[in-house]
Structure 1
Amino acid sequence: MANFKVYSSARKDHLSEWHASRFLRKIEALNPAFYPEPMAQKEGYLPYTNLDLFTGNYLTRSEFETLYDICGGFMHSENPYGDPHRYEELLQQSYGWLEKIVNLLNLHIVTFADGEEGCLILMGGGEEVSFATFGPPVQK
């Protein structure tokens, strides 16, 4: 999270919050633009130039909540009186989830809590991650 210090100083319970929708609402109260924005590089331009919002299939905030809750359910023991974990079904779904996560994070913008500064992050599937910071618009 790009604003960990801001969030942790404001919310002492951040390490014990287990419900995605609750902790996302807490983060959003501190930074309404906290969720990564997936970007797309236009063909034929230098990196970090001529970007558009990515409009393909990526992990939305709502889907993040769903996936977080699904994974949380699998991390706990099965309830002997409830439905058994469906591991094979989760494995089959994991490929689609992975594609959405990669599409979200491959090239994305993270906006800091001040709403004017942030980073453009290029993960690109390699071992090296590169980024470029940006600040508020220059006033003339």
Structure 2
Amino acid sequence: MVKAKKRPEIIYREMMIEALYRLSSADNLIKNSNNFQDAVRVDSAILQIRKAMEAIAFSSIAPSEKRYEDSHRHNKKTIGDHYHARRIMASLAAINPDFYPTPLVPAIRQPDGGWNFGRKTTGYMTRTRFEKFYDRLGKYLHTINPWGKDPQIHQLCKDLPTAIDAIYELLDLHFAVIHIEEPATTQIWLVDAKRDGTVAMTIAMAEGSCVVQPS
């Protein structure tokens, strides 16, 4: 039996839920690590954060799945073999410059009765920081080589709570942009992803192309 394909918005929401769950698990592990003295809990927290970041990368593929798959047809690996968040994001940027979540502040009612969502300007994990931190975590997924350089695990431990909070701030209220070529349409997915693990989505669509203004 062939497994039925899930709709992109369902995949996106499921990946958001997974990312939030893993972030919450990492946060609890850190808080119960005896001030980072419990190496197993620290290592487990690092793994959960990295997996949460990979879930975010996978969610970003969902809206552009076909174009992403087409762009990799020359490779031996299929889309199902991909996992590296930074490489996924580099590929997505080439086909949809607006793929990365755009964090928002709560909407403000306008005089005409409409609502306006302002852009969040600080406190969230930018794409550049996301990719650097993802790579930084990689070397801590392995036992530290005693003959290698100082891994500076203590500095990383200090940075983990701030990084978790920054990812939460990225996801809390954001939108994702999907450009569809045939027929030419643009979708905006407004996503409310709370720290308690609940995720709500609203999808808006406009005919023709749409330009996303930089923050």
1:3 aligned residue: 61
Higher relative contact order (CA 8 A, sep 6+): 1
Relative to structure 2, which stretch is displaced further, 107-116 or 76-85?
76-85
**Quick one: distance in 1 between partners of 2:190 and 2:85?**
28
**Quick one: distance in 1 between partners of 2:108 and 2:85?**
40
2:90 aligned residue: 25
Q: Alpha-carbon deviations, 1:85-129, whole Å to 9, x = none?
A: 333322210111112111110000011243711310001223321
1:122 aligned residue: 192
Please tell me the residue identity of whatever aligns with 1:3: I
Question: Within 5 Å, which residues of 2 pair with 1:50-129?
Answer: 50-114=116-180, 116-129=186-199
Task: Indicate conservation of the 8 Å contact 2:187/2:203, yes or no.
Answer: yes
State TM-score, norm by structure 2: 0.54
Q: CA RMSD in A?
A: 2.7
**Quick one: distance in 2 between partners of 1:79 and 1:9?**
40
SS at match of 1:41: coil
Task: Indicate conservation of the 8 Å contact 2:60/2:100, yes or no.
Answer: no
State TM-score, norm by structure 1: 0.79
Percent identity over the alignment is: 23
Q: Shift in Å at residue 31 of structure 1? A: 1.1
Unaligned runs of 5+ in 1: none
Unaligned runs of 5+ in 2: 1-58, 209-215
Judged with a 3 Å threshold, the aligned counterparts in structure 2 of structure 1 residues 76 and 33 are, in CA distance, closer, same or farther, namely: same
Q: Which aligned segments of 4 or more residues in structure 1 are displaced greater than 6 angstroms?
A: none
Relative to structure 2, which stretch is displaced further, 30-39 or 80-89?
80-89
Q: Shift in Å at residue 75 of structure 1? A: 1.2
**Quick one: distance in 1 between partners of 2:156 and 2:122?**
23
Q: Shift in Å at residue 134 of structure 1? A: 1.1
**Quick one: distance in 1 between partners of 2:61 and 2:82?**
18
Q: Shift in Å at residue 44 of structure 1? A: 7.0
Task: Indicate conservation of the 8 Å contact 2:190/2:201, yes or no.
Answer: yes
SS at match of 1:67: helix
Judged with a 3 Å threshold, the aligned counterparts in structure 2 of structure 1 residues 136 and 43 are, in CA distance, closer, same or farther, namely: closer
Structure with greater Cα Rg: 2
Task: Indicate conservation of the 8 Å contact 1:3/1:112, yes or no.
Answer: no
Q: Shift in Å at residue 50 of structure 1? A: 2.3
Q: Alpha-carbon deviations, 1:5-52, whole Å to 9, x = none?
A: 2223432545356472x432211112111000000014679xx93211
